[in-house]
């Protein structure tokens, strides 16, 4: 039996409080800070240890998020430079021609994100798609929130939960469940088909309503006087070159990453480096001596945007990251336990097992460990539980593991956790809380439908 301490129960209470706070559309920083303080006091046994825990957990969360924070800041600086030299408007012109309607833009952004995520994983794909396609989608009158939903569900949902090309997720799940990767990937086909079709369809219905409201609002707005219309910067020669060079450079990056098998954080680092080098070259070519000061201003602008978006996310993540054994050890030292993981194990030990309860448990536990905010950290647990459940009741291990993988990744990989959707929210310029709320109903509907299908397949 999993032993639950007072710290576990306090942690569970604050998880509920945070969820309730978010349900009322309030920022959850205060309950997260208080939760970390009390849990830290219980674990360390001293008030000073509790105070240290508040800071250490924040640093640990920032360490986990720093690479995407920097990439978002660099892209913000690049965008400021391109806007100044008139390259941004020229760059999106071809994509605008393809995106002739908001509905078309929704699907184009999503499908491109899907393909890019399969080869690069969603985080680096977010930077690429956001830099090139999101401005064009917005120009096609697709609301920014709908573009963010499309990117999230196709990339962090469909692509990351199946992971057919890189096979990171199925490899972890299969190893933990003691089945072959091929068997697991084959078993997940009907489940991911159900999850993808139901979730994307539900999200598209909601997006259609948002699009209609946005178009109606735009039609109701009278055209302002000419003196009030923001001028589009006249493109310079450097701007015209940059409008072609930037998308071609990112395309070359994609090709190189695929050819050399570079993935994950390494891919994000290369995209960040290319972004900064492109920015440096453009500002030098267009502004000469002035570029020494101008690049600082533009990077500060990008960094200000990134820090503004990520500051509340780091605080919230500092609480939920304590649910992972790996992060808990960074804060409390060796021997620390992951509170969410322990709570999920305890839940599995007290519920009677049958075909329906196993499917429901695997989905619920996958979602619970997904609250940590990482789509992959919970896979060893869901895979191990799949093996235990199958052995106890005589069911199909690989199908149960595939269900757990889908639930864990869709919840924790960056679809309905506010601190997980931040990269897409930041690149699209929307609130992480709003994006998580838009994704919540479609993802929950999809998980329910997928769990029902799994009951008949396991």
At residue 219, the pLDDT reads 59
**pLDDT (tens digit, 9 = 90+) per residue, 167-213?**
778 888 888 888 888 889 899 999 999 999 999 999 999 999 888 88
Least confident span in 16-30, 271-285, 314-328: 16-30
How many structural domains compose the chain? 1
Arithmetic mean of pLDDT over the chain: 84
**CB 82 within 8 Å of CB 282:** yes
> pTM for the complete prediction?
0.70
156 inside domain: yes
* 378: Cβ contacts below 8 Å, ≥ 6 apart: 341, 344, 366, 369, 370, 372, 408, 412
- CA 377/CA 375 separation, integer angstroms: 6
Tokens representing 100 are 């002739």
How far out from the chain centre does Cα 261 lie? 22
How far out from the chain centre does Cα 46 lie? 36
How far out from the chain centre does Cα 411 lie? 9
Say if residue 23's pLDDT is above 70.
no
- CA 56/CA 354 separation, integer angstroms: 42
Band (pLDDT 50/70/90 cuts) for residue 348 is confident
**CB 184 within 8 Å of CB 173:** yes
209 inside domain: yes
Tokens representing 40 are 């830290």
Band (pLDDT 50/70/90 cuts) for residue 218 is low
At residue 228, the pLDDT reads 43
Say if residue 232's pLDDT is above 60.
no
Domain that holds residue 142: 65-166+200-217+235-310
**CB 258 within 8 Å of CB 118:** no
451 inside domain: no
Say if residue 225's pLDDT is above 50.
no
Percent share of the chain, pLDDT over 90: 31
125 inside domain: yes
Give the number of other Cβ atoms within 10 Å of residue 260's Cβ.
11
- CA 379/CA 161 separation, integer angstroms: 11
Question: 293 vs 414, which has greater pLDDT?
Answer: 293
Tokens representing 139 are 């120009």
245 inside domain: yes
185 inside domain: no
Per the document, the length of the chain is 458
Query: Could you tell me which of 413, 410, 414 has the C-alpha nearest to residue 198?
Result: 410
354 inside domain: no
**CB 110 within 8 Å of CB 151:** yes
Classify 421 as helix, strand or coil: coil
Q: H helices of 121-180, where?
A: 122-132, 134-139, 144-151, 160-162, 168-177
339 inside domain: no
Say if residue 352's pLDDT is above 60.
yes
């Amino acid at each position: 039996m999993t032993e639950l301490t007072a710290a576990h129960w306090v942690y569970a209470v604050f998880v509920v409080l945070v969820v309730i706070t978010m349900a009322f559309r309030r920022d959850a920083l205060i309950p997260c800070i208080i939760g970390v303080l009390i849990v830290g006091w219980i674990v360390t046994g001293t008030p000073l240890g509790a105070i240290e825990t508040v800071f250490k957990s924040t640093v640990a969360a920032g360490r986990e998020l720093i690479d995407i924070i920097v990439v978002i800041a660099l892209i913000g600086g690049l965008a400021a430079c391109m806007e100044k030299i008139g390259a941004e408007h020229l760059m999106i012109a071809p994509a605008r021609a393809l995106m002739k309607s908001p509905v078309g833009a929704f699907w184009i952004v999503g499908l491109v994100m899907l393909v890019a995520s399969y080869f690069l994983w969603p985080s680096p794909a977010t930077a690429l798609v956001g830099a090139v396609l999101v401005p064009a989608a917005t120009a096609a009158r697709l609301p920014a929130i709908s573009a963010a939903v499309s990117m999230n569900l196709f990339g962090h949902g469909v692509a990351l939960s199946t992971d057919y090309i890189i096979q990171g997720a199925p490899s972890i799940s299969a190893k933990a469940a003691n089945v072959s990767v091929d068997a697991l990937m084959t078993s997940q086909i009907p489940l991911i088909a159900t999850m993808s079709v139901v979730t994307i369809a539900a999200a598209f219905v909601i997006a259609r309503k948002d699009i209609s409201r946005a178009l109606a609002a735009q039609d109701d707005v009278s055209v302002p006087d000419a003196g009030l219309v923001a001028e589009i910067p006249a493109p310079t020669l450097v701007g015209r070159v940059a409008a072609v060079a930037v998308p071609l450079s990112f395309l070359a990056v994609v090709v190189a990453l695929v050819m050399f098998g570079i993935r994950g954080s390494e891919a994000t680092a290369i995209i960040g480096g290319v972004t900064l080098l492109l920015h440096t070259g453009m500002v030098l070519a267009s502004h000469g001596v002035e570029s020494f000061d101008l690049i600082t201003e533009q990077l500060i602008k990008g960094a200000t945007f990134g820090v503004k978006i990520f500051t509340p996310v780091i605080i919230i993540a500092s609480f939920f990251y304590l649910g992972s054994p790996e992060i808990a050890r960074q804060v409390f030292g060796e021997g620390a336990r992951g509170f969410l993981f322990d709570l999920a194990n305890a839940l599995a030990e007290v519920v009677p097992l049958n075909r329906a309860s196993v499917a429901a448990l695997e989905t619920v536990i996958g979602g619970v460990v997904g609250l940590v905010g990482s789509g992959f950290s919970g896979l060893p647990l869901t895979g191990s539980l799949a093996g235990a459940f199958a052995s106890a009741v005589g069911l199909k291990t690989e199908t149960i593991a595939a269900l757990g993988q889908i639930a864990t990744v869709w919840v924790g990989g960056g679809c309905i956790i506010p601190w997980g959707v931040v990269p897409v929210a930041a690149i699209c310029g929307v609130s992480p809380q709003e994006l998580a709320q838009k994704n919540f109903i479609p993802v929950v509907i999809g998980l329910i439908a997928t769990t029902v299908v799994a009951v008949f397949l396991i």
